[in-house]
């Protein structure tokens, strides 16, 4: 019996509320990557109040990073979303090393320095 169902990579997008020291954020993780030693596939981004939606911000961020998105679902607990993509082999994109991620985190760091008065 053959299975023609495509295998997809899953990314978990979750909202992190503000604290006394940090503003609201979202995290994007690739849970299956944690099975491999030394791989930390988790990125944190400032929450985008203009977008105003965790799922939409996660989708926009992954698309800007070059991922081929194929669908999404809400997690069983309802506190996060899973976004699926099909970037494999030559199309592989590392959540940690994409140029878009570097640009996004660079802009966040510049903004934090500005607001800290440095």
pLDDT at 18: 94
User: 38, 34, 29, 35: which is closest to 10 by C-alpha?
Assistant: 29
Q: Would 111 be classed as within a structural domain?
A: no
Task: Give the pLDDT score at 6.
Answer: 79
Tell me whether residue 19 is in a domain. yes
Within a domain: 3: no
Q: Would 92 be classed as within a structural domain?
A: yes
In a domain, 15, yes or no: yes
Tally the domains of the chain. Answer: 1
Is residue 115 in a domain?
no
pLDDT tens, residue order, the chain (118 aa) = 567 887 888 899 999 999 999 999 999 988 776 555 555 678 899 999 999 999 999 999 999 888 889 999 998 888 999 999 987 756 666 676 655 555 555 555 555 555 555 5
Got the DSSP string for 41-65? -EEEEE--TTT--HHHHHHHHHHHT
Q: Give the domain extent around 75.
A: 9-101
Is 33 part of any domain?
yes
């Amino acid at each position: 019996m053959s299975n023609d169902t495509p295998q997809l990579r899953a990314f978990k997008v979750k909202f992190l509320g503000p604290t006394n020291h940090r503003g609201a954020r979202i995290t994007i993780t690739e849970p299956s990557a944690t099975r491999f030693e030394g791989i930390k596939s988790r990125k944190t981004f400032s929450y985008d109040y203009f977008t105003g939606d965790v799922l939409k911000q996660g989708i926009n961020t992954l698309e800007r990073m070059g991922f081929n998105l194929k669908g999404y679902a809400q997690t069983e607990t309802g506190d996060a979303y899973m976004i699926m993509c099909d970037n494999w082999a030559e199309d592989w994109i590392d959540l940690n090393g994409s140029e878009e991620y570097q640009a996004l985190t660079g802009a966040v760091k510049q903004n934090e320095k500005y607001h800290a008065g440095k």
